[in-house]
Structure formats: structure tokens, C-alpha cells
Amino acid sequence: MFALRDHPHRRYNPLSDEWVLVSPHRTKRPWQGQVETPTLDQQPAYDPQCYLCPGNSRAGGEHNPAYQGTFVFTNDYSALLPDAPPGDYQAGDEPEHPLLLARAERGICRVVCFSPRHDLSLGQLSPAELRAVVDTWADQTTELFALPTIGAVQVFENRGAMMGASNPHPHGQIWATESVPIALARELTTQQAHVERTGRTLLGDYLALELAQAERLVYANDYAAALVPFWAIWPFETMVIMRRPAATLADLDAAERDGLADVLKTLTTAYDRLFQVRFPYSMGFHQRPAKIAAPGWHLHAHFYPPLLRSATVRKFMVGFELLGEPQRDITPEQAAERLRVLV
């Protein structure tokens, strides 16, 4: 068998049932493409112009309370609305056609401020503060799951202007949708197939393998682990997997929530140390759908950071990646090693 670190090859992702092309020899190529301007990290503890800071007015005209911990509110410019009329829509004035389908989608979009401090991030929160964030995510999951029109709850954070964050204040979002999103539906299929075939969860088996090999492991405690998946697409992509196959954040007990907070703090701190910059990423938890039995579901989070070689050189998904399949240069093993030494 050829060495994966030396030759181009494809890797299979059993969670999404997709492939990724890995080209490790391309790390030697010179870069004359776009170079980003690093985001300045100097932020005040309170910004009177920030629409997320305590006591300030938001863009929609509402005033934030003088909150001291986490703060949740309905997005003033929600992508989804709870009262959209249900049913199928007709495209223009044309008769209904199976190739021109449109369907109403109801839902709720909320913003979660992690801290009243404008200048902090997840990795800079204290263990108790980060645990409070985990509890807020869990409470919101319980509340939204109970609504009759909600089919899935997506907890996520876009960090940094490079990933579309419009405000540096530490915050994330929760989108609760009527339907099950495509990525979640795909993972539901693969995880159910694995548990039916083996009696075990797919990510439980995968995590056991990664803990034994330790080659792609970044950090682990008794309750959760952070690793660069074998099939990672983004250069420093990681997954956080709970050791016990809980289905949702709300299912985690007190010790597991502490363990998850510890892994999140350690991982995001290592990210910031990698290029000595506040590391941009999109992160989100994949929980089981709200109204579908999912015996094989195993709670996990995905981190998708765009940086490639430095704080100023990012990975672009273009050309072959858009038209064929994803491709990466630096191997997952190399990425994990670079992150692991920073823990």
C-alpha cells in the first residue's frame, strides 16, 4: 500500500457518504493568489456602537437588557419565520410542474450572545462561563424541540469576518427549521444504516479507532474528544465527538457538559495559537432531528476553518471542488499534529 502522506488519493467519508481528493504533494507549490488582511484583535470590553452589547439598541430598534451571562433573542432579520403559510408554492403564473417545486418553510432564528464582554471569544471564556453557554444551547434545544412545527435545531457559530460574522461580539445562532436540512438528513441515513448493521453507533466505532491510533487526535478528556477527521475537507477542519452517544445537547449530563466545555475551550485556544490570530471558522452541532426516531444518532460538532498556510492565505472551494468533489493539500494527519502541539 502506498504512503498516504506522499501520493494523491481519495478518502471516504462514511458519515456523509462522500469522497474527498487529497493531494499532499501540492503543499510545495508557490502561492501568488489572494492574500487576506488579518483581523485586528484589539476590541474594547464594551462597545457603545455594538448592537449586541448589554444595554445597547439593536439594528431592529429593540434594546438589549443589561445581561450578565448569556443572552438569547429572536434574530431581528430572521431567515425563517414561524408564521409563513404552509403548503406548496407555484412558480409564477405557470401550471404546477414536478421540475418546478417550491415549498413553504417555517422556522425560528435566534441569536445567542456568549458573554456581555465584547472582547472575548469561546476560548477566552472561563470554564464556568463556557459551561453556561453549553447549558444555554441545551435549554434552547429542549424548548425548540417541543414546538410542533420544528423538525430540526441547528446550533452554530460563524466566527470572524472571513466567515461572514457581521459583528465581533462573541455570539452564535440557532436556526430551528420545519424540515430536516440536507446535511442532517444524509447523516441520519448513514448513522441509522450503521447501527442496524452493527448494533453500535457509527461515530462510536470511529472515535474508538481514532483514540486507539491517536494520529489524528487533537485533545480528549473522559467525556469528549476533538480530532481532525480522516476525511476532512478544510485544511484544519476538526470534529468534536462525545464519548457517550447522546443524541442532543439536552441529553448531556452535568459531567458531560463540563467535558464538552473543556474540549471547546482547548480546541479554540489551539486554533488561535496556530497562526497567532483570532482564528475564523464556522462551527455547528449536529443533533438528531426533533420528530424522527434516530437510535444510531451520536452527538457531534463540526469546525470548518478556512485558513490554509497562514493568517493571510485561505482555502478556496473553486473549480474542481465546485464541479467535481472537494480537494485538500495538507493531510489530516499533518493538520492534527500541528494543532496537537498547541494544546
Catalytic residue set? 171
Please state the φ and ψ torsions of residue 203, each to the nearest 5 degrees. -75, -25
Close Cβ partners of 126 (under 8 Å, ≥ 6 residues apart): none
What is the 8-class DSSP label of residue 13? E
CB 203 within 8 A of CB 255: no
Which of 58, 65, 51, 57 is closest to 118 using CA atoms? 51
| Sequential DSSP letters for 268-302 | HHHHHHHTTS---EEEEEE---SSS--TT---EEE
What is the dihedral sign for C-alpha 202, 223, 226, 181? positive
Q: To which H or E segment does residue 71 belong?
A: strand 71-74
CB 290 within 8 A of CB 152: yes
Close Cβ partners of 228 (under 8 Å, ≥ 6 residues apart): 216, 218, 236, 237, 238, 239, 332, 333, 335, 336, 339
Which of 15, 11, 20, 14 is closest to 299 using CA atoms? 15
Which residue matches cell numbers 431592529? 60
